[in-house]
């Protein structure tokens, strides 16, 4: 079984055919999904999708793009929202200096509040970082010094230095369909070196469809194509990679109730 560790099933892109999307995921061997919160205002919709399907869980958080629109978030707010049984993670949060839809200072405040919520709840923090390696590393090192917290860098596209720091801090790394792109040679080199117990795979759907689906709406079924490339660069078979990443998901997202999947 594969698990799509990061998707956005509440987005309008899936409104018309969500049941078909779920069926295609099942047919592709994708047994579970984590749908990700990007704003607190839309958290009810994210939770609603997770409540509808036994093999879907969710997170609550504020994407760095939304850090100004939903400013002054308090860790306690995230902590309270995370009490829902389907909420198994905090985020996504982090820093995005590529688009900078929100001021950097607001992004940092947002990021640190999410880290505090992850530290208190023990739920993993889902970190988005783009063109912000230096500040992401600084914040993670500083915050880990205040007290440990679990988490991962999702859709990893950074360099080897941040990868080493993240792994040294005890965090995990998730790879998206970007790893299948011809231009992603360095990313494939990094994926080959991540420890077996610290790697996950995702789609980030509806974005970043992997080869051979480029130009199409991405969906959880396509995580199988990403996993195939990750397995290849790591020198293992797809079944081994699927087992490792599923075990890693279960180890990291300990609140996820897998008993419902067997029912």
Query: What is the spatial distance between Cα 259 and Cα 241, in angstroms, rounded to a whole number?
Result: 22
To the question of whether residue 257 is assigned a binding role by annotation, the answer is no
To the question of whether residue 189 is assigned a binding role by annotation, the answer is no
Of 68, 132, 126, 128, nearest to 97 by C-alpha is: 132
Other CB atoms closer than 10 Å to residue 197's CB: what's the count? 11
Per this entry, what is the length of the chain?
263
Query: What is the spatial distance between Cα 5 and Cα 58, in angstroms, rounded to a whole number?
Result: 10
130 conformational bin, left if phi > 0, alpha if psi -120 to 50, beta if neither: beta
To the question of whether residue 101 is assigned a binding role by annotation, the answer is no
Of 137, 112, 124, 214, nearest to 174 by C-alpha is: 124
Of 14, 74, 16, nearest to 40 by C-alpha is: 74
Distance of CA 27 to the CA centre of its chain: 22
Give φ, ψ of 174 to 5 degrees: -115, 140
Other CB atoms closer than 10 Å to residue 212's CB: what's the count? 10
Q: Determine the angle formed by the axes of helices 160-168 and 133-146, rounding to 10 degrees.
A: 10
To the question of whether residue 8 is assigned a binding role by annotation, the answer is yes
To the question of whether residue 154 is assigned a binding role by annotation, the answer is yes
24 conformational bin, left if phi > 0, alpha if psi -120 to 50, beta if neither: alpha
Residues in the annotated binding site for a divalent metal cation: 6, 8, 92, 128, 154, 204
User: What are the binding residues?
Assistant: 6, 8, 92, 128, 154, 204
């Amino acid at each position: 079984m594969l698990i799509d560790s990061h998707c956005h099933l509440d987005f309008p892109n899936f409104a018309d055919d969500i049941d078909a999307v779920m069926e295609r995921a099942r047919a592709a061997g994708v047994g579970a999904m984590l749908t990700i919160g990007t704003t607190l205002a839309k958290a009810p919709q994210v939770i609603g999708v997770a409540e509808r399907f036994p093999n879907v869980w969710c997170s609550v958080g504020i994407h760095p793009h939304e850090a100004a629109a939903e400013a002054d978030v308090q860790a306690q707010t995230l902590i309270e929202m995370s009490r829902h049984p389907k909420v198994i993670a905090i985020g996504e949060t982090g820093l995005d200096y590529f688009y900078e839809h929100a001021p950097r200072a607001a992004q940092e405040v947002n990021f640190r509040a999410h880290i505090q919520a992850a530290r208190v709840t023990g739920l993993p923090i889902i970190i988005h970082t783009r063109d912000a390696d230096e500040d992401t590393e600084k914040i993670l090192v500083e915050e880990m010094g205040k007290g440990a917290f679990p988490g991962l860098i999702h859709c990893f596209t950074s360099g080897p230095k941040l990868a080493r720091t993240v792994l040294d801090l005890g965090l995990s790394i998730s790879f998206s369909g970007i790893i299948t792109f011809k231009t992603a040679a360095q990313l494939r080199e990094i994926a080959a070196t991540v420890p077996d117990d610290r790697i996950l795979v995702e789609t980030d759907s509806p974005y970043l469809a992997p080869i051979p689906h480029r130009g199409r709406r991405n969906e959880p079924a396509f995580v199988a194509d990403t996993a195939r490339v990750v397995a290849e660069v790591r020198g293992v078979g797809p079944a081994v990679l699927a087992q490792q990443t599923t075990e890693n998901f279960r180890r990291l997202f300990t609140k996820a109730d897998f008993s419902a999947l067997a029912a």
